[in-house]
Chain A
Amino acid sequence: SQQGEEDPQALSIQEGENATMNCSYKTSINNLQWYRQNSGRGLVHLILIRSNEREKHSGRLRVTLDTSKKSSSLLITASRAADTASYFCATGLNTGTASKLTFGTGTRLQVTL
């Protein structure tokens, strides 16, 4: 079953605009991660935010985490056509000798010239 739900399911913007994607989850987490996937290929890790962090930056990416609301957002600033992809949030939970990522349903981002 999916842990997270991304919103919106699809987003279309023009190059240079900012893109914001939201993720909600249901259970306790150790961290929340965002991944990118191009056209049904492998996923690429973008950024990880721990449960005791509220905001994190990496290049043009800004992630926020609100554990009280069980939600996160990913902001991509000054988007480029190359940012066109599906974006997934994933909640991480470490339990002793195992760890598990539970992915959301994804946001399909289309950036047009």
Chain B
Amino acid sequence: DAGVTQSPTHLIKTRGQQVTLRCSPKSGHDTVSWYQQALGQGPQFIFQYYEEEERQRGNFPDRFSGHQFPNYSSELNVNALLLGDSALYLCASSFRGGSRFTGELFFGEGSRLTVL
């Protein structure tokens, strides 16, 4: 049973560029959340997708956008990259449907973005 997979694992961009990160949730999961983790900090919630809609959003600017596809996979897009966007971007999946929602998240290994 494949867990949460993210791609790419590492990437380097320059200021002003745009980046797309991808996530495939754990089999059977229907909800995807994205987190940003700066070096030495805890993960910060970006947004959550369920049924192809953004359900909740953290304190991030509109430069951060996302999408969820019918197969539950998700993308995170960041436009007009800033140096401060350098971080580990983590995708987490969970199952929301019915009464099985427990709140536990399953994380991928992350995509490490460096902005020069």
Residue ranges of A at the interface with B (Cβ–Cβ < 8 Å) = 1-2, 4, 30-31, 33, 35, 40-45, 48, 88, 92, 94-95, 97-106
Contacts and interface: CB of A to CB of B under 8 A. Distances in A.
Interface residues of B, number: 33
Given A42-B90, A103-B44, A95 B103 contact: no
**Chain A facing B: main interface SS:** strand
Given A45-B104, A45-B106, A101-B103, A40 B88 contact: yes
Interface stretch (B13-21, B61-69, B73-81, B107-115): B107-115
Contact of A45 (B56, B58, B105, B110): B105
A4 B20 CA distance: 30
Given A40-B37, A40-B39, A99-B96, 19 more contacts: A4-B42, A31-B103, A33-B103, A33-B105, A35-B107, A40-B88, A40-B110, A41-B109, A41-B110, A43-B105, A45-B104, A48-B104, A88-B43, A92-B103, A98-B55, A100-B33, A100-B56, A101-B92, A102-B45
Contacts of B44: 1-2, 103
Nearest to A94: B103
A2 B103 contact: no
